[in-house]
Amino acid sequence: MKMYEPFAAACRASALPLEEGYPLRACTTLRLGGPAQYFHEATGAESLARLLALAQEHGVPVTVIGRGSNLLVRDGGVPGLVVRVGSGMSAITRSGCALTAEAGASLGALARRAAEEGLAGLAFASGIPGSVGGGAVMNAGAYGGELGPLVTRVEGLLPDGTPVAWDGADITWAYRRTSLMDSGAVLTRVTFALTPGDTEQILAEMTELNRRRAEKQPITEPSAGSTFKRPVGGFAAALIDQCGLKGASVGGARVSEKHAGFLVNHGESAADFLALMRLVQETVLRETGVRLEPEVRIIGVDA
């Protein structure tokens, strides 16, 4: 990997903490992947802006991650700087019927806060294991609900650390994709417009949705959620099951017997997981003519 010692020295001089060789497998629900060359845990927008400016000044590539629930890190790790926007930026505040959450807040925590405040609209998100920032960027959804229609404002930082903001109506929202992906911005806060509701009724709805999730999905096994996007006119899980791939494995990676749309990990090799993804894609394409696209985000280099 290219060395970036002047960048590291500049961060030390600016009291911006970096860790070298941080094990990224500890940052993902798949529990796979090599190390980050440099790693920073974000604690606020101001210090994050300074860090991004230094990285750009020194030509250091930056990779931003959230809670790692939709992330596969290759075995060789990630060159340059990895910034995790997680629990250090997770405050949630209320104003009227709106909740504003820092990007590192979990979607589960956001949904629970909304319920406690008697605000309806986010029950579907209570079981999504990702962060507010990552969820907004990819327009996360479940059980017929999506974040996009609820978002009224997104705040972030451009690659050089400059603050930027968008109204929700100015963002293009699509299935598991938004125009935020093309902006290069690191999200810092997202505001959601909700509606008054009954706390007990909202909590009951969340309980039922999470019961259904636990019944149908392998939530106790390491995974990145649905591995592939839903193809037009069908479901990835049904196609994978149709091709007889439930239980198929490469090394410690396996297609879940409980839900074929989930690839689960019981090994230590991201290469095995990627090989299983290719096997599934190639088999489904050959047998059905449908090309499955990954929903999981893949970063880093091979070992």
What's the predicted TM-score (pTM) here? 0.93
Terminal CA-to-CA distance of the chain, rounded, Å?
Answer: 12
Catalytic residue, chosen from 176, 177, 230, 297, is: 176
What distance in Å separates the CA atoms of residue 40 and residue 22, rounded to the nearest whole number?
9
Catalytic residue, chosen from 126, 226, 254, 256, is: 226
pLDDT of 4 reads 93
Question: Is 269 known to be catalytic?
Answer: no
Residue 248 pLDDT class (50, 70, 90 cuts): very high
Question: Is 131 known to be catalytic?
Answer: no
Q: What is the pLDDT of residues 14-60, one digit of tens each?
A: 999 999 999 999 999 999 999 999 999 999 999 999 999 999 999 99
- Whether 214 has a pLDDT exceeding 90, the answer reads yes
Question: Is 295 known to be catalytic?
Answer: yes
pLDDT of 235 reads 94
As beta bridge partners, residue 226 has 262
What distance in Å separates the CA atoms of residue 291 and residue 279, rounded to the nearest whole number?
12
Q: What is the pLDDT of residues 197-211, one digit of tens each?
A: 999 999 999 999 999
pLDDT of 3 reads 85
Q: Is the four-CA dihedral 236, 242, 245, 246 of positive or negative sign?
A: positive
Burial class (CB in 10 A: 0-12, 13-18, 19+), 262: buried
pLDDT of 2 reads 81
The full set of domains in the chain, from first to last, is 5-84 (3.30.43.10), 90-204 (3.30.465.10), 218-294 (3.90.78.10)
